Structure 1
Amino acid sequence: MSVDLLLTLLAAALAAFLLALLSAVAGFGGGVLLLPVFTVLFGLRVAVPVLTLAQLSSNGSRVWFNRRELRWRLIGWFALGAVPCAVAGGLLLAHAPLSPLKRVLGVFLIGVVVWRRLRRPPRPPAEPSFAAVGAASGLGSALLGSVGPLTAPFFLALGLTRGAYIGTEAASALTMHFAKIAAYGAGDLLTRQVLLLGAALTPATLLGAWAGKKVVGRISERGFVLLVELGLLAAGALFLAGF
């Protein structure tokens, strides 16, 4: 292994650890922030499927750590929309114009935080409406690697916090990640390089998820929601900046 490749893997592993920790605390954000890092290191067409493989271990560990608080019916409704749209997005990845979609998503994420601050909290959405949330999230995630913040306002509107929010959101995300991997495989995006990188980054994401689980119990509910909103603003700014 060359020195340059080793340094690249170490940088990617450190980023994966730190952002898996963030995901475990806030329930999202790691994937969105990892995408620009992986894009710089590997290029966009490799970064998106590598990120998906890394998210399997990150989300899977968050599901396991919070398994007693999962909302299974909600996960089912989400998967109903997410799986087919994730497959469609995965097959489109090689040809989709990504920059305009990123900027639209950035405006949406920042607008959500402003709306939450200027208006009364929204009424809890009906669980079947999460099929539409899953559809939008599945398509966007397949094209951009991760749009975890897209789902955050809807899960928060149901009053989910801490373990229930983190675990349920992670389980919902897993359904579309598996669908994305199947689509990437069909589109010849799961190359040997992608599979090796995904395997190499798995230990760092697992360790970050474990460390985040130790941190999340020490944050107040108000601080938790504030952390999520700050993550939404950061993710929106990154998308608007074209990352």
Structure 2
Amino acid sequence: MTWLEWWLPEQLSLVASLSLVVISFFTSALTAAVGIGGGVMLLAIMANLMPAAAIIPVHGVVQLGSNLGRLLTLAGLTDWRMAGWFSLGSVFGALAGGQLAVSIPPAFLQLALGSFILYSAWMPVFRLPAGRKSISLLGAGTAFLAMIVAGIAPFVFVVLKDLFSDRRALIATQTAMMTTQQVLKIVIFGSLGFVFSDWYGLLVLMVGTGFAGTLSGKYFLNRLPAERVQPILKALLTVMAFRLLYMGYGSLG
């Protein structure tokens, strides 16, 4: 066993681990550049490579690292009042969702992830009424879902986008909201028994490459229109979602 294999989780092959490290860079750069898509793309790839029970908590740590890097670069544009009301609702939603997440069988988790990724790729747009009650309810609902299916950032992005005239401010505020939910996710999964130390080496590498991707993606924030990326992203997510649904149904049989 090489030192690299010793450092990385034994639940994954060396190729799978290194693939996730590289993919973390590109998916983080994608989110920094166009505002959405990277987190769900990373989730879909992780769900096809990792044990079902580890997907949501590990994804939470990696996304926290990516979000912190993005938040540091865009903090001055964040609507902290809106993010605060969202975070308040998130506390209640995360506590409720955590209890359900640890009791879901792996096959049903794969089905839930596949269905949600498919919905995230093709979901309809609707408007969110302005006001602290609506924002808090959005936080509670998405935090509940985040404990089970993780990749809810595109949903929040779509719901909030009509409330912002500046795309950079939208991305900054959404990043602050997602950062809160990732912290809650890590704390709750840890308290429920998930052993993050088993994944320490992979987490360090993925967070590091994710931060590098964030810095790279910021350069393209005003240069890469989301409209050019979305058709390709939708196609890739759709293929991965159907593979997860196939795996889930196969496990049930």
TM interval, shorter chain, is 0.7 to 0.9
Q: Secondary structure at the match of 2:151?
A: coil
Q: CA deviation at 1:227?
A: 5.4
Instruction: Please tell me whether the aligned partners of residues 49 and 190 of structure 1 are also in contact (alpha carbons under 8 angstroms).
Output: no
How far apart, CA to CA, are the structure 1 residues paired with 2:21 and 2:234? 25
Corresponding residue number in structure 2 for 1:163: 168
CA distance in 2, matches of 1:77, 1:212: 28
**Percent identity between the two aligned chains:** 26
Q: Is the 8 A contact 1:82 1:137 kept in 2?
A: yes
Looking at structure 1, the residues matched to 113 and 24 of structure 2 have their Cα atoms a distance apart, in angstroms, of 24
1:57 equivalenced with 2:77 (yes/no): no
Q: Deviations over 1:102-128 (max 9, x none)?
A: 52673475241xxx5xxxxx6662132
CA distance, structure 2, for counterparts of residue 7 and residue 104 of structure 1: 27
Q: Distance in 1 between matches of 2:62 and 2:80?
A: 23
Is the contact made by 1:88 and 1:183 (CA closer than 8 Å) also made in structure 2? no
**1:9-61 deviation digits (Å, cap 9, x = unpaired):** 32111110000001111222222111122223321211221111101110011
- 5+ residue gaps, structure 1, are 117-121
The two structures, once aligned, show a CA RMSD in angstroms of: 2.6
Change (3 A) 1:5 1:123: closer
- The reply on whether 1:132 has 2:137 as its aligned counterpart is yes
TM alignment of 1:53-202, pairs within 5 A: 53-96=61-104, 97-98=108-109, 99-100=111-112, 102-103=114-115, 106-107=118-119, 110-112=122-124, 116=125, 125-128=129-132, 129-202=134-207
SS at match of 1:241: helix
| Residue deviations 1:182-203 (CA, integer Å, cap 9, x gap) | 1101111133223332122111
Contact 2:113 2:241 (8 Å CA) reproduced: no
2:129 maps to a residue whose letter is: P
Contact kept in structure 2, 1:124 and 1:159, CA below 8 Å: no
Q: CA separation of 1:189/1:160 partners in 2, compared to 1, >3 Å: closer, same or farther?
A: farther
Counterpart CA distance in 2 for 1:109 and 1:136 is 19
Alignment-mate amino acid for residue 141 of structure 2:
A
Conservation of the 8 A alpha-carbon contact between 2:21 and 2:202: no
| Closer, same or farther: CA 136–123 of 1 in aligned 2, 3 Å | closer
Q: Which moved more, 1:102-111 or 1:200-209?
A: 102-111
Q: Secondary structure at the match of 1:61?
A: helix
Q: How many aligned positions are there?
A: 231
- Provide the rounded CA distance (Å) in 1 between the counterparts of 2:76 and 2:30: 21
How does the TM-score come out when normalised to structure 1?
0.83
Contact 1:125 1:157 in 2 (8 A): no
Distance 2:236 2:140 in 1: 20
Return closer, same or farther for 1:211/1:229 CA change in 2, 3 Å cut-off: same
Q: The residue matched to 1:76 in structure 2 has which SS?
A: helix
Query: Within the alignment, does 1:38 sit opposite 2:42 as a pair?
Result: no
| Whole-Å separation in 2 of the counterparts to 1:102 and 1:241 | 6
Given that 2:36 and 2:153 are in contact with CA atoms closer than 8 Å, whether structure 1 keeps it comes out as yes
